[in-house]
Chains A and B, each alone.
Chain A
């Protein structure tokens, strides 16, 4: 990458330190003490807040009772991606945000870290704990091995299916392996989770892009059902001039490089990240942690409208990332073929647009030049529409695959999960989708009765209150 003014490279030790776990594993005593704080709420808000409905109080009670394998079983039974969710979930807006302790102004239970404490010894060591149905004779293909694909594949395997996962890249895991800041989830842990699903009996075919290396028709003919879990494509262009200049990169591609080998990544001394979503935060903090002197996030709306989570915002601020609100890029500027700056324009907020947020409008004559050595684009990813068009009957809208409540597409045999459906959500949402698709397929192929529902038995009436004393 041609960067005219690169940051001074850091030593491997410094890089390792900068990218180390921000929420380190709990020590046993810490975990037991924290677990014992849990109130064991009834109809617990944390469970309701979890897209995969993990029975949080139950797994925490099991930890408190020193039953770690049992705790992991509770988690993985609801969410096979429990180990990566424990690290990557925005818990402050999900389970921990719903913890009733928040209403008491007390710190919520550290559910994410407890979940990691429970799942690590099981998932990282490949200890099989989940019940598995005997083979049912049916084959299902899963396209993509990100969290949605892995969750679908594992659940289908548990239901008795022979499952093959096709992965275009050389390593499984999707965004868990290539798209999340390394201080949240390491490559080793992401790969161990994929390995766990493989060990459950799922077959993986790497370096194979469905629709190119193997035809849609063949997949359609060879399998009883197919799950599309291909996520999103490359970073979307900003649509300004100069985007092909050396030193302009997409956030997704930048993060993948960091995940593959941070020592090989060159960042500029002064980095501008365009966009303020959670991916933008990841890219900005990684650039800072790889030695950039100055990292600025440009966002065309104001602080109030920023799409990133508060936790991510604070993380970036703590790393020294500067936010430049109400600013949009106009043109990348270059000197001797490399980025030298970004011409920007000041924005103001207008009337609400289709998204319901105030529409940013450029202020005429407010253009200015922002000197920088590297531009990271992070305003969204392209949709992989080419594949959708090859599947007969599949409907997409705005690049998002349209599905019913079972994640079934317009083609009854094809299901879709994760970011290709949602447009970009959390690991836990993809995992929830995957499970839903697996059960959707099971119902489609074996009927509703194949998914048993536990019904309550008979009940007598509650006793009537005792009559008052006769005098």
Chain B
């Protein structure tokens, strides 16, 4: 029997699937519906001083006929009144005591203001706080959001202020719009945060109308840089999560965010150490109902792998993300094309010939369209297997070259030790 319950720094939820602080968590109406659908938790749309939003607010990037591979927004924090938000938080918690309800906060960088807001939302019975140090648009111009997250000292300072009064766990939400995620991550830890969540959105301009030259999303002929999210950002999010979880000094639990749409996406974040995950774009695309598939997929996978609880596999991949200099230079693979599966598109040929290492040849006979791998020059780059449209047709096979494992670091060390040691 698989147990999906999750515990992020003391915040428990029936499963690890939370809604991220965003339009889907704007109201009790939405969050209650989401909990009915099966979501384990929700981080409320960020609460702060009153703001006014623009129209329009979202813009997206399509890939071929797939919509919203990436989504960008210039929407700000909640534009509902503090009183409404507090009343609804209280109602949700009353009716859904077992679900995780986290209040997201973003206010001006004043100790008293933070204290006031923390007390007010905690009085509603929320299970935790998420400090929004991440939004890269609008609020950052007013010294909030990513303007805080980009300066580790500010992030640390505000976290400390919050921790002075907070009775519930404090999650610091990090911005990816920095040069090294480790600094703000360690700053949150120094400020005594209980967990971090990442990533917030990435600064972006999603597109331009080629007829009118207006950038998107259009606001009376103009636009602003916005926060990018959706499936396109997942690899960036995974890398930033791994950078923190594999750092020896970083000890906080992580809530993974960034382009999660399928159960596989969620598992990847957890394999890199995330305790739970937060989802936004996929819900903005398909609605709350997608949680069924997330739960089902994760459950089936855990059963197949023999995992009983999330901790059984959490972080399993962390040790496998190494510095490049520690990879084995003598590991050798070459491409292998399955003649029976090949459909003869020859995309692998032209990709390798023009785009990589000229290691695939054509047969020369127009009737035999199966290309041949030139194993003596194949560098084992994977490109052909990536472009091949048939699953399992091109595989990379290990070649036993009889050479012992050696990394660049070891190689340099041997070179430094002199030619005698090298041979």
Contacts and interface: CB of A to CB of B under 8 A. Distances in A.
A43 B347 CA distance: 9
Interface string B134-167: 0000000000000000000000000000000000
B344 A100 contact: yes
B401 A36 contact: no
B293 interface: no
A33 B67 CA distance: 11
B379 A465 contact: yes
A304 interface: no
A284 to B, nearest CB: 36
19 contacts: A32-B65, A39-B345, A41-B346, A41-B347, A42-B347, A43-B346, A43-B362, A43-B366, A100-B345, A104-B390, A463-B358, A465-B376, A465-B379, A468-B330, A469-B330, A470-B423, A471-B404, A471-B414, A471-B422
A468 B331 CA distance: 11
B405 to A, nearest CB: 11
Interface string A34-57: 001001111101001000000000
Given A39-B389, A42-B350, A43-B362, A466 B379 contact: yes
Interface residues of B, number: 29
Interface residues of A, number: 23
A64 B330 CA distance: 43
Interface in B331-378: 342-347, 349-350, 358, 362, 366, 369, 376-377
Given A39-B389, A48-B366, 6 more contacts: A39-B345, A42-B350, A465-B377, A468-B401, A469-B406, A471-B422
A223 interface: no
A43 B65 CA distance: 25
Given A465-B377, A469-B329, A45 B369 contact: yes
A33 B65 CA distance: 5
Contacts of B362: 43
B345 to A, nearest CB: 4
B64 interface: yes
Given A32-B65, A43-B346, A104-B390, A469 B379 contact: no
Contacts of A43: 346, 362, 366
Interface of A: 32-33, 36, 39-43, 45, 48, 64, 100-101, 103-104, 462-463, 465-466, 468-471
B379 A40 contact: no
Nearest to B387: A39
Contacts of A40: 347
Contacts of A469: 329-330, 403, 406, 411
Contact of A36 (B65, B345, B376, B414): B65
Contacts of A41: 344-347
B22 to A, nearest CB: 28
Given A39-B389, A41-B346, A100-B343, A64 B64 contact: yes
Interface string B403-423: 110100001001000000011
A227 B349 CA distance: 42
Nearest to B353: A42
Contacts of A465: 376-377, 379
Given A64-B64, A470-B423, A471-B422, A39 B329 contact: no
Interface in B66-121: none
A39 B379 CA distance: 25
B344 A45 contact: yes
A22 B423 CA distance: 75
A417 B266 CA distance: 63
A41 B346 CA distance: 6
A39 B387 CA distance: 10
B379 A470 contact: no
B64 A471 contact: no
Contacts of A45: 344, 369
Contact of B346 (A33, A42, A103, A468): A42
Nearest to A98: B344
A416 B39 CA distance: 73
Given A42-B347, A42-B349, A36 B64 contact: yes
A230 B254 CA distance: 78
A194 to B, nearest CB: 34
Contacts of A32: 65
A463 B379 CA distance: 12
A468 to B, nearest CB: 7
